[in-house]
Amino acid sequence: MFIFLFVVKEFNSDTFHSKHKNIYRVLISRVNAPTKMSSTSFPMGDLLKNNYSEIERYTQYIEGAYYLVHIEENHFKNQKVSFVDSSFFQIFDFKLKSGDYHQLFSNPNTALIDSETAKRYFNTTNVLGRNIEIEVPGIEEKQLLTIVGVLKNYPEESTLQPKIVTDIGVIKRKYADDYFTSSPQLFLYIPGKRNITELSKELAATYFSKENEFRTRKAPVDVNRLSLQKLSSIYLHSTDVEDNLPKGDFKLLWILTGISILLLVIIFANYIILNIGLGIKNQKQNQINQILGANSGWLRKKYISESVFYVIIVFFLALFLIPLAQKIVAYSSEYHYSLFSKSDLNILGIFFFGLILLGVFSGWIQYIGLTYRKKAQPELIKFKNQQALFKYLAPSQLFVFIVLLTALFVCYRQVQFIHDQDLGFDTENTITVNINNGHDSDLFVEECRKLACVENFSVGHTLFQPTPYLNDVTIDETLNTVGSQTVFGDQNYIETYDIELLAGTNINGDDFPLIADYYNYSRKRGIIEILVNEEFVRKSGLKDPLGEIVTIEHNGTCKGRITGIVKDVKNLPFYESVTPMVIGFGFSHSPSVIVRVKKGQIEDFRIEVNRFLKRLGKESYFGYGTLSYNFENWYEKETTLKNLLMLFSVVTLVILVLGLVGVSLFITQIKTKEIGIRKVNGAKVSEILSMLNKDFIKWVAIAFVIATPVAYYAMNKWLENFAYKTNLSWWIFALAGVLALGIALLTVSWQSWRAATRNPVEALRYE
């Protein structure tokens, strides 16, 4: 039930908007990276709307997540403020509980607030006319806003989750003709039946031609760079999109769906097995009832009513247990849905109706399994050689268990493999300090010289990156162009990160300016000294790269001379191979301060950073803070998958044990008299156990033979996502099979032992 609720809510993201089928977000692919930008320029909306009648309406949306909000004496950090235009409420179904959203656009310095935030700020939703003061971190200017409306609670499945909403008009007018600044997300309402792929190419041709005209350049127009993403696809299909919106995992949902279906089938089969096994013990009672006049309809109603009754009982029991399941899953993953909202009632109703049908069907199956039809009169089945009815059920459960167990082992091994890899640079003791001001950064550099916990420091960019942003680097002599990561780093960079220098010399930093003046340096630089990695040398085809002059395209063009070669580092997630890299001082974009801390003193250093920022009065400013390598964040999906596989393996194990108990009960009931006869004729307990358990050993073998290639194929496909991966060793599959065999034998041996040690007189006496 929990998986059903969760999966349905995930797949239904944003479908509560009545126009969701015709709302599209504009995405632009990056030229130098395998990602897409959700931010667009401000003139883009009007340009596309005025040129294409298919676009009935558009809206632009900016979401800032790090605002300071002041309410009288209370202060709230890292608050979300959304900037919208009037079309936003005509396209999206965000309704007001009180107030009027038209006032937001007719009166300056006004805002809407959602009910949850209103309660958090004011302990009430009756807040019309109240004031809040917002402040952009790092900017001293504050803006006082008057609340003119309160938003109704919207579903958790909403990807856009506005908390404080204000007018985008001032910002939009400021950048009305600016094709350089990318900020708002652009949503188009296209209600017609136009081919969206073709339309997106036409939009791309119009926009990029206008952009080239604005920038007075003659760049080629790539019509495939612009795409339209359906609103209902944003949540589950945006892993390659740069935005700060919540993201789901489409693949993980299908894994959960598949596992839940398998679990339901196994549970259903086990329920039938257990009931038929128990039904054999109650055959005498049923026979007596038939003798006393009960007909087949009575027996059929008996089984169906019992099954439906059990289904109703366990459904309501499950309702009470779902919060526990939610806590367990939340502990194992990043998902924190608060289930049982009003939108869940329909989902639960559908699920309950399905369970009732399943109860009716299972009762009918039990009736069929315990009776057979001779002429017009159904009779109770004798159960001679009826073991074949269930010979497929136990292997199928063992098959699922072995596949899950193998997947768990492989997933755990891959996560451990990644964790234990030598990345070629120090991740344990290095930390990036982001300070969004050159003067403050220079002050912090001086602070680092005084701190006892600092071993080394450098000015540059963080080395570990989630995405390979590649820029063109052309060797002047051969004109060979190599797509490379261009990393800002001074003369202390490789020493701070502990990167090995293989050949040549480090760059000379004698003339490097202060951080506050590095922009001037970048404007007047001639040829800068750079380091390249081994992969760059391989891709460039240079036999002796030292001293070669290259042209680097990185937000402009500059020349570089190769002074040294460094060892390859794995600074990208393991989905990506090592890419060519260029390290040098003076590339565009503000640098940070990279600090190598003495072993075990990271937390002490963070305390010192916070003290420094507090002295500056900027401890809560956006862009001021620390960043370190975080394995769990980089490989969150793999860790989540491993945890969920572990959870479902335990659940499957419990279900498997119940199923095997049912099968063993069924078999021992069938063979009760056979066991008694064998014991009377001198059979030992060990021989009886061997006879009863040999079928289970055979079933484990069959399940293992089928499960191994299936698990191998599935996990091999999963590992193809990684550029660096563990091996699918034979012992992983063997271990899963041995564990399944051990669990099967331990489970059934208890029932077999009871049957083998039973007094044969009880089995053979006259009924």
Regarding whether 761 and 652 lie in a shared domain, the answer is yes
| pLDDT at position 152 | 92
Regarding whether 40 and 156 lie in a shared domain, the answer is yes
CA–CA distances in Å: residue 333 to residues 93, 326, 328, 424, 492: 30, 10, 9, 29, 39
What is the Cα–Cα distance from 68 to 76, expressed in whole angstroms? 6
Regarding whether 188 and 139 lie in a shared domain, the answer is yes
Which residue has better confidence, 19 or 272?
A: 19
| pLDDT at position 690 | 76
**Nearest in space to 117 (alpha carbons), one of 85, 82, 93:** 82
| pLDDT at position 721 | 85
Contact, 592 vs 434, CB < 8 A? yes
Which of 594, 609, 633 terminates a domain? The answer is 633
Position 441 pLDDT exceeds 60: yes
Comparing 20-24, 552-556, 600-604, 735-739, the range with the smallest average pLDDT is 552-556
**Nearest in space to 379 (alpha carbons), one of 461, 289, 467, 504:** 289
Give residue 767's pLDDT band: very low, low, confident or very high (50, 70, 90).
very low
What is the Cα–Cα distance from 710 to 410, expressed in whole angstroms? 13
| pLDDT at position 151 | 94
User: Buried b vs exposed e over 234-268: b needs ≥16 C-beta within 10 Å?
Assistant: bbbebeebbbeeeebbbebbebbbebbebbeebbe
CA–CA distances in Å: residue 675 to residues 383, 384, 683: 15, 14, 9
Comparing 12-21, 44-53, 232-241, 677-686, the range with the smallest average pLDDT is 677-686
What is the Cα–Cα distance from 316 to 518, expressed in whole angstroms? 67
Regarding whether 233 and 121 lie in a shared domain, the answer is yes
| pLDDT at position 341 | 61
| pLDDT at position 168 | 92
Regarding whether 651 and 516 lie in a shared domain, the answer is no
How do the residues of the chain divide into helix, strand and coil, expressed in percent and rounded to 5?
A: 50, 20, 30
**Nearest in space to 164 (alpha carbons), one of 148, 141, 178, 179:** 148
Give residue 460's pLDDT band: very low, low, confident or very high (50, 70, 90).
very high
Mean per-residue pLDDT for 657-668?
72
Comparing 16-30, 122-136, 621-635, 704-718, the range with the smallest average pLDDT is 621-635
pLDDT in tens, 87-99: 999 999 999 999 9
Beta bridge partners of 527: 559
Which residue has better confidence, 330 or 233?
A: 233
Looking at the structure of the chain, the number of domains it has is: 3
Regarding whether 614 and 568 lie in a shared domain, the answer is yes
pLDDT in tens, 696-745: 788 889 889 999 999 999 889 889 888 899 998 899 999 999 988 888 88
What is the Cα–Cα distance from 412 to 646, expressed in whole angstroms? 9
Regarding whether 671 and 581 lie in a shared domain, the answer is no
| pLDDT at position 501 | 96
| pLDDT at position 381 | 52
Question: 106: which 2 tokens?
Answer: 């007719």
Comparing 185-194, 381-390, 425-434, the range with the smallest average pLDDT is 381-390
Position 194 pLDDT exceeds 80: yes
Average pLDDT score, the chain: 84
Question: 71: which 2 tokens?
Answer: 């309410």
For residue 231, being part of any structural domain is answered with: yes
For residue 175, being part of any structural domain is answered with: yes
| pLDDT at position 590 | 79
Q: Give the domain range for residue 508.
A: 430-633
| SS3 assignment, position 424 | coil
Question: 26: which 2 tokens?
Answer: 């504009």
Give residue 376's pLDDT band: very low, low, confident or very high (50, 70, 90).
very low
| Long-range contacts, 167-172 (Cβ 8 Å, 24+) | 167/83, 167/84, 167/85, 167/104, 167/105, 167/108, 167/110, 168/60, 168/61, 168/62, 168/83, 168/84, 168/85, 169/85, 169/105, 171/42, 171/62, 171/83, 172/42, 172/60, 172/85
| SS3 assignment, position 439 | helix
Mean per-residue pLDDT for 485-494?
93
Neighbouring C-alpha atoms within 13 Å toward the C-beta of 383: 20
What is the Cα–Cα distance from 110 to 115, expressed in whole angstroms? 16
Regarding whether 187 and 50 lie in a shared domain, the answer is yes
For residue 306, being part of any structural domain is answered with: no
Comparing 249-258, 290-299, 528-537, the range with the smallest average pLDDT is 290-299
Q: Is 586 left (phi over 0), alpha (psi -120 to 50) or beta?
A: left
What is the Cα–Cα distance from 41 to 26, expressed in whole angstroms? 11
Position 229 pLDDT exceeds 60: yes
Beta bridge partners of 64: 81
Regarding whether 540 and 655 lie in a shared domain, the answer is no
What is the Cα–Cα distance from 27 to 35, expressed in whole angstroms? 10
Residue type, 552: I
For residue 668, being part of any structural domain is answered with: yes
| pLDDT at position 562 | 95
Position 219 pLDDT exceeds 80: no
Note the pTM of the prediction, 2 decimals. Answer: 0.79
Percent of the chain clearing pLDDT 70 (strictly above): 86
Rounded to the nearest 10°, the torsion over CA 270, 272, 276, 279 is 110
pLDDT in tens, 110-154: 999 999 999 999 999 999 999 999 987 655 568 899 999 999 988
Which of 618, 633, 648 terminates a domain? The answer is 633
| pLDDT at position 655 | 79
| pLDDT at position 266 | 77
Give residue 383's pLDDT band: very low, low, confident or very high (50, 70, 90).
very low
Mean per-residue pLDDT for 194-212?
91
Give residue 77's pLDDT band: very low, low, confident or very high (50, 70, 90).
confident
pLDDT in tens, 142-193: 889 999 999 998 888 899 999 999 999 888 888 888 887 778 999 999 998 8
Which residues in 505-591 belong to E strands, given as ranges? 527-533, 549-553, 557-566, 581-584
| pLDDT at position 622 | 65
For residue 576, being part of any structural domain is answered with: yes
Give residue 384's pLDDT band: very low, low, confident or very high (50, 70, 90).
very low
What is the Cα–Cα distance from 351 to 118, expressed in whole angstroms? 35
Regarding whether 750 and 663 lie in a shared domain, the answer is yes
For residue 270, being part of any structural domain is answered with: no
Regarding whether 665 and 586 lie in a shared domain, the answer is no
For residue 672, being part of any structural domain is answered with: yes
**Nearest in space to 164 (alpha carbons), one of 59, 64, 25:** 64
State residue 175 phi and psi, 5-degree precision: -115, 30
Contact, 460 vs 488, CB < 8 A? yes
Regarding whether 655 and 579 lie in a shared domain, the answer is no
Position 766 pLDDT exceeds 60: no
**Nearest in space to 521 (alpha carbons), one of 509, 538, 506:** 509
Which of 221, 242, 263 terminates a domain? The answer is 242
For residue 261, being part of any structural domain is answered with: no
